[in-house]
Amino acid sequence: MSQFLDARTSQNASYANSIAVPILVINTPQLFGQIGLLTEGAGANPRVQLKGTVSVQLPLALVGITITIVRGTLPTDPLIYSATSTFDLSVLAPQVITFSANDFNPPITPQLTYTAFVSSNLLGTIRVGPENFDGAVYSD
């Protein structure tokens, strides 16, 4: 039977249009969420479940938005999840991107840190909120 160990949330922006953070450098990850999960008492088969939301206002052009999750604090740390959504010219309203990821059998340390990044392949993309990143760790 699974044993719950810890859960955390990084709530950067709670409401739609509550922030206006431009993505100033194309294809460069911007941090939008970070959590530390305590793993004390983890037994066999530890696993981390991660999910979140990021919302962006797009320029009037074909644009790709990439979400990446790493185990650590830097974009170069071990990649846990990556997905790119491409939006076409007809998209005018802010786009809400949700994701769900898992990290099976991570190394057990006193705390695991996970960081969520967003990047765009086009200038003019603006993070508008909501932004949320949360995770929970379990073991057998």
Tell me, what's the pLDDT at 102? 98
Tell me, what's the pLDDT at 88? 73
Q: What's the rounded Cα separation, in Å, for the pair 86 and 55?
A: 14
The DSSP annotation for 13-65 comes to E-STTS--EE--STT--EEEEEEEEE-TT--SS-EEEEEEEEEEEPPSS-EEE
Structural domain total, the chain:
1
Tell me, what's the pLDDT at 110? 94
Tell me, what's the pLDDT at 131? 97
Tell me, what's the pLDDT at 90? 66
The reported pTM is 0.94
What CATH number did the domain enclosing 77 receive? 2.60.120.760
The two structure tokens encoding residue 13: 């922006």
Q: What's the rounded Cα separation, in Å, for the pair 47 and 107?
A: 10
Tell me, what's the pLDDT at 22? 95
Q: What is the mean pLDDT of each run of 10 residues along the chain (140 residues)?
A: 94 95 94 96 94 92 92 98 86 88 95 97 93 97
